[in-house]
Amino acid sequence: MTTRTPAPRRRDAAGTRQLLLDAARRRFAADGYAATTVREIADEAGVNVALINRYFTSKEGLFEACLTGAVDELGRTVAADVTLAEVPHAIARQLAGPHVGQHPSLLVLLLRSSGDERADEIRRGILRSFAESLATAAGRRPGDDKLLLRAQIALSAALGIALLRSTATMEPLASAGEQELLEPLQDLISGLLARR
């Protein structure tokens, strides 16, 4: 009688890493850094909790990786070649994009404090950079703090929309699609950032 041993499960480091990132983004955005445990993240990802340390060193490292991913996505929203007219389209896509239903907007993740100074410094840097890119798209010149303030207010409004869509059941905001969000965002961006 021959016993058959099952074939070893094939390892997919990149796939496992992505599962952890997706689960962590959902948890951190929904529950915040402090209330989220690495066990919950690993369970949701369907992997061993020890893999968080293997791929990210710590909970803080995983949070930083989530923020870095947010930078990449948001960087595409206001890239150097994006015009001011394109910004509302990019923000509407981010707010109503394919992440809806899977996890809250990455914009919400940027509102979450980690309690870890390094991770919070990265988060603040991302927000500052995003506002500066938005002001640059509007034609900001060095030292133009009025336009930077207006860009920060526009960013605050986008973050507020993301937060309300993910935590409140305010209708029609919570279920608005990209097209429904676009016109008010165009009015907001134009009103705040278009040159007078």
CB atoms within 10 A of CB 181: 22
How sure is the predictor about 2, in pLDDT bands with cuts at 50, 70 and 90? Answer: low
Q: How do residues 74-121 score in pLDDT, each as one tens digit?
A: 666 555 567 888 889 888 888 886 554 444 456 677 776 666 677 778
Indicate whether 39 pLDDT > 90: yes
State the pLDDT at residue 144: 87
Q: How do residues 59-85 score in pLDDT, each as one tens digit?
A: 988 988 888 776 666 666 555 567 888
Q: Are 51 and 16 in contact (CB under 8 A)?
A: yes
**d(C-alpha 139, C-alpha 78), whole Å:** 13
Indicate whether 8 pLDDT > 60: no
Q: How do residues 40-61 score in pLDDT, each as one tens digit?
A: 999 999 999 999 999 999 998 8
Considering Cα of 29, then 35, then 38, then 42, what sign does the dihedral take?
negative
User: What contacts 79, CB < 8 A, 6 or more positions away?
Assistant: 133
Write down the pTM of the prediction. Answer: 0.71
Contacts of 124-129 with CB under 8 Å at 24 or more apart are 126/67, 126/70, 126/71, 126/74, 127/155, 129/71
Q: What is the DSSP letter of 34?
A: T
